[in-house]
Structure 1
Amino acid sequence: MAVTKVAVPLSVFPARVQGYTRVSAEARASCTSTDTVAATLAGLITQSQGCLGVELALYKDADGNQYNLGLLTLKDQGDLAHVMTVLGSHPESRQVAIHLAPKDSGLRPLPLDSPFVQGFSAYGHSMLVGSAQWSDGRGSDLDQLSKLLARLTNAVITNVPA
């Protein structure tokens, strides 16, 4: 399989895209630290050929709904199918750390146990894990929230180089 040696740059997260605004973003070198990913994802990365880095971004929409994105660059493109299959079978288990909103962002702090939706997509050597929460933390209309998350992740994944 194809192997890469360079992590995808943080610039794949545009400041504004399709009605969403980036609130914050950061790159992290460790793909397996507990403050970045959940134990399941960390284990899958450890069992794979490895990961070169993870980029985290927090977006909001006009209603103040919150979207956390984590983009992982895997060394071996062949590992993506297995990792996504395992994670996709457990959508209720958050896989990427919540990127807390800066105090001046205007976003409401949500409890860590607020209901959320999660989605996965991949391109090239990269896997994008997205999660979303309603601005009021409610647990209803999650299908609609999933559609909003998919619109954002579809827009971002197109910026990822092959």
Structure 2
Amino acid sequence: MNAFIDVDSANGDANLSRPVRTILIVDDMPNNISVLFETLTRFNYKVLVARDGKSAIGQAQLAQPDLILLDVMMPGMDGFETCRRLKQLESTQTIPVIFMTALSETIDKVNGFNMGAVDYITKPFQLQEVLARIHTHLTLRQLQRELEEANALLEKRVAERTESYRKRWPKWSS
């Protein structure tokens, strides 16, 4: 049992208080999509699905998911290139991407991080690990947003006080 998430009790009242988060699953294997879709919807996530990199980019731009689970080995555009392109687009560059792959070599992981991924899950994955990593990265992204908002508010207050100071003591504010 994972210390962060109890799969048997996660559908309880605790999930009712959190906002619905959207996760885009990108994988060309129907079985992987099915398992992840069932698990994530059970945990009250809204789940979108894409079977290739091009579709994933289009969906991510349109739907603005909170997180993307991205398979590396796909026909056509692989996950590394898909991630690289997502990170180049202003509309999708801040969406956390977690790679899912059977590749376990360090060079593959480093390549994934260099493309902009925030994490890496090796297949066959354990659902509790996937859920814990999703929870962690959604929490980190929410805290980042809150910090950005607090910083913007602080900058606004500093600007207002600076302007007030200049109006009260014009000869000392030059």
- RCO greater where, 1 or 2, for CA within 8 Å and sep 6 or more? 1
TM-score, L = length of structure 1: 0.31
User: TM-score, normalized by length of structure 2?
Assistant: 0.29
Max radius of gyration: which structure?
Answer: 2
Query: By percentage of residues, which structure has more helix?
Result: 2
